[in-house]
Amino acid sequence: MAQPAVKVGPAGKPVKRRAPSPGWGPYLLLLPSMILLAAFTIYPMISSGYLALFHANLANREPVWAGVENFQALFTSDLFLKSLKNTVVFAVVTIPASVLLAIWLALQLNRKVRSVSFLRAAYFYPTMLPLVSAASVWNFFYNPNYGPVNLLVRLFGGTAQNWLGDPQTALPAVMFVSIWKDAGYFMIFFLAGLQSLPSDVFEAAELDGANRWQQFWKITFPLLSPTTLFVATISFINAFKAMDQIFVMTGGGPENTTSTLLFYIWQQTFQFWDKGMGAAASVVLIVILLAVALFNQFYVDKKVHYE
């Protein structure tokens, strides 16, 4: 087969052919996504940052320049600080709990046992429920008079409690619902990750005498680190956007013990009509999420084994 002719320059060196320019085609394909990103992400972020510098509430018919006064008011507000603390507690508890439960479920269901398809569907089912519907169901479960949770407590000789009306138990009760809702969804990712792992590595480990725990800790868990990072990131976002279940189950009470950062933003903006304070709290939330994203990008991602 004849070889294509190679152009030779004046010095006898071959001349490299330039790759054809892709033109505007790729940019036109990206244009719809860029428009949506600008309209629903970038513009709202910039708008919130600008509005946070004004007093925009019922006391002012027109926004009045405030500078950093809204941010000063935020960090001296007991309600905001309590909401921020509740959000951090919510994240610290629900992220590891839902991730670990999802890993355990995936390990149990990554076997050839009878009814495994039914069990996978059963564990995944809570994910299919809308969060508002799931919260309404758990409102019934937590009912202090006839809820199944208190019936179970009485069955084992305990005392019935008002789970959502007690400041000591309200936030843990809401966190339990979030863990129950997310674990089945995260399980699917870990199950897919487990099924893509090479079997020869585990066969070699068994020949070397490694037990199941050693295989998990030394082989399975490191190889699942990309999946774990992805799931942990999604769980973190879910924790900081917790709103629907709190709105339905507790309304931020009792005594603001279940008020989270996003619920505080909604409350300031749409209940108290203080758009300046709501925008300032939104900026704080954006800064936290960006800080975590940068930390994952430049530090955590380097610790992940992709091969």
What's the pLDDT tens digit per position in 81-107? Answer: 999 999 999 999 999 999 999 999 998
At the top level of CATH, the class of 89-255 is mainly alpha
Query: Residue 193's closest CA among 168, 159, 230, 164?
Result: 230
pLDDT attached to residue 27: 81
- Alpha-carbon distances, residue 33 vs 22, 36, 40, 290, 293 (angstroms): 19, 5, 11, 21, 21
pLDDT attached to residue 296: 83
pLDDT attached to residue 197: 84
pLDDT attached to residue 88: 94
Q: What is the mean predicted confidence (pLDDT) over 38-66?
A: 86
pLDDT attached to residue 281: 93
Please calculate the CA angle 60-65-69 and round it to the nearest 5 degrees. Answer: 95
Greatest pairwise CA separation for the chain in angstroms: 97
- Whether the bond into 144 is cis, omega within 30 of 0: no
Query: Residue 140 is encoded by which pair of tokens?
Result: 């019934």
pLDDT attached to residue 19: 65
Highest mean pLDDT among 52-66, 72-86, 114-128: 72-86
Q: Where are the domains of the chain?
A: 89-255
pLDDT attached to residue 99: 93
Instruction: Answer yes or no: is pLDDT of 15 > 70.
Output: no
Sign of CA dihedral 18, 23, 29, 33: positive
306 or 63, greater pLDDT: 63
Give the H or E element holding residue 65: strand 64-65
Q: State how far the Cα of 96 lies from the Cα of 93, in Å rounded to an integer.
A: 6
DSSP 135-148: HHHHHHHT-TTT-H
Query: Residue 185's closest CA among 224, 110, 259, 129?
Result: 129
Instruction: Give the pLDDT confidence of 176-219 residue by residue, as tens digits.
Output: 999 999 999 999 999 988 888 888 888 888 887 888 888 888 88
Query: Residue 107 is encoded by which pair of tokens?
Result: 């390990």
Question: Mean pLDDT, the chain, as a whole number?
Answer: 86
Please calculate the CA angle 134-119-106 and round it to the nearest 5 degrees. Answer: 90
Taking the alpha carbons at both ends of the chain, their separation in whole angstroms is 40
pLDDT > 70 in the chain, percent: 93
**Cα–chain center distance at 62:** 37
pLDDT attached to residue 16: 62
Query: Residue 166 is encoded by which pair of tokens?
Result: 């007690």
Q: State how far the Cα of 285 lies from the Cα of 290, in Å rounded to an integer.
A: 9
Q: Is 305 helix (H, G, I), strand (E, B) or coil?
A: coil
Query: Residue 254 is encoded by which pair of tokens?
Result: 């009792």
pLDDT attached to residue 263: 93
Q: State how far the Cα of 247 lies from the Cα of 241, in Å rounded to an integer.
A: 12
Gyration radius of the chain over CA positions: 27
Q: Is 8 helix (H, G, I), strand (E, B) or coil?
A: strand
pLDDT attached to residue 142: 92
- Alpha-carbon distances, residue 14 vs 7, 9, 116, 212 (angstroms): 6, 6, 63, 59
